[in-house]
Amino acid sequence: MSTETSTDVEKKVIRQVEYYFGDCNLPRDRFLQEQVKQDDGWVPLEIMLNFNRLKQITEDTAVIAESLRKSTSGLIEVSEDGKKIRRNPDQPIPENNEQRKQELAARSIYAKMFPLDSTLDTLQAWFETFGEVESLSMRKDVKKKFKGSVFVTFKAEDSVKKFLEAESVKFNDVELEKRLSKNAYYQQKQEERKQFQEEKQKKKDKATNRQKDDGWQKIENEMPKGALLLMTGMNQEETRREDIKNVLQDYGPIAWIDFNRGDPECVVRYDKENMAKEVLEKVMEANNNEIIIHENKLEARVLEGEEEVARWRKMHEDSINRKLEKQNRYSKNRQKGRWGKRPSKATRDALKKAKAEERGETAEKNDNDEPPAKKVRVEVTVEGDSNGD
């Protein structure tokens, strides 16, 4: 650019228009991309006045044309009649590949601590004391107000080195708070986000553990002794929760069956003390001391002591985890817009009841959250009943 023959207005016009058609802006400017497709790359200067920054410098198309003719970069061509401009076809836009991204990043910096009332022209002129600037982006908050930090891409890597390696860099006598390469800035932000997520997870885990401990303390104080029945030796391929329920439900009300299909064992919980022992005695008495489901003879015993306490704790923790997993799944689906407002509990219960009735079942829910079990013939072998026949 010839500073001897260009006025301040002309220099601003050249800088602004070359930014619009430059390597940084044109590949991402959809409006300008559409314009350059229409007339072999030529864009009327009347169209260019739709760009506010250029319009603020001058609305005189003759001044714009004359200014661009004085540019020495060779990037912009002006039509003979001075009414159209285009990017020089001999300077095609570089391919946007990984090599190009790395090359741009190597010429880009991040800087912070500029006055919030700074203008683009002021910042542009100041950064050009370090070298020719290709693009400058003033970072803004959600209210479109300047945050005091910028991204700058210089024409040459030497300018980046000059800016970053300077012992002291001041703007209006105020030392800049941060000077980083763009790559270093993004790496720093990534580390900060990672640290933030880790701290957030720690707080979440702490709250979860406190919830578990508080709930467990309550359960430990209130849990009925002798209410857990352990059954082992399941047919892991065929046994379902409903099969276990069918064997035991006639001998006492079941509160919960802790079992997932494929497990070799299950724990049946009752709400009353010593209920597990009473049920086991009745089942064994009625079936000649054998419990068989899907041709597998099961071992059954009532949990006691530390083993009983440990199982209560595990069931409590599993319950908390299921609730948290459900809450997280619900939250993610809400964020993705999959679900609207969650129905009330009464509505959800009514829907469950209606679905159960459609399947020909009672309103009692299937605790496994699985599709309803097919009707399975439960075999309880008896080698002689209580009458001795």
Residue 18 lies in a domain: yes
Instruction: Mark whether 320 and 293 lie in a shared domain.
Output: yes
For 302-325, how does the pLDDT look when each residue is reduced to its tens digit (9 = 90+)? 999 889 988 888 887 887 788 878
- Average pLDDT over the chain reads 85
CA nearest 124: which of 110, 142, 113, 138?
138
Q: How far apart are the first and last CA of the chain?
A: 114
pLDDT band at 376 (very low <50, low <70, confident <90, very high): very low
Q: What is the pLDDT of residue 193?
A: 93
Q: Count of domains in the chain? A: 3
In a domain, 1, yes or no: no
What backbone phi and psi angles, to 5 degrees, belong to 179?
-135, 115
- In angstroms, the CA 88 to CA 7 distance is 24
> pLDDT value at position 337?
55
- The answer as to whether 380 is a domain residue is no
CB atoms within 10 A of CB 16: 22
Q: Across residues 108-133, what is the average pLDDT?
A: 93
pLDDT above 90: residue 217: no
Same domain, yes or no: 115 and 30: no
> What pLDDT, on a 0 to 100 scale, did the predictor assign at position 46?
95
| Domain that residue 22 falls in | 8-87
Phi, psi of 158, deg, nearest 5: -60, -35
Pair 243, 376: CB distance under 8 Å: yes
CA 173 to chain CA centroid, Å, is 42
Report residue 310: phi and psi, to 5°: -60, -40
Checking if the pLDDT of 353 tops 90, the result is no
pTM of the model: 0.51
The CATH number for 31's domain is 1.10.10.10
pLDDT at 301: 94
DSSP tag of 27: G
In a domain, 192, yes or no: no
Residues 296 and 333 in one domain: yes
Is residue 170, in this structure, part of any structural domain at all? yes
Residues 105 and 13 in one domain: no
Residue 35 has pLDDT above 90, yes or no: yes
206 in a domain, yes or no? no
Q: Are 167 and 120 in a shared domain?
A: yes
Q: Is residue 127 part of a domain?
A: yes
Percentage with pLDDT > 70 across the chain: 85
State the pLDDT at residue 347.
79
235-245: per-residue pLDDT in tens? 888 999 999 99
Of 31-45, 218-232, 276-290, 374-388, the range with the lowest mean pLDDT is 374-388
Range 94-101 contact pairs with CB under 8 angstroms and sequence separation of 24 or more: 94/23, 96/27
CATH number reported for the structural domain that contains residue 169 in this entry: 3.30.70.330
Question: Do 255 and 307 have their domain in common?
Answer: yes
Question: Which pLDDT does position 360 carry in this prediction?
Answer: 62
Q: Is residue 37 part of a domain?
A: yes
At 145-170, the pLDDT tens digits run: 999 999 999 999 999 999 999 999 99
- Indicate the residue among 50, 65, 87 that finishes a domain: 87
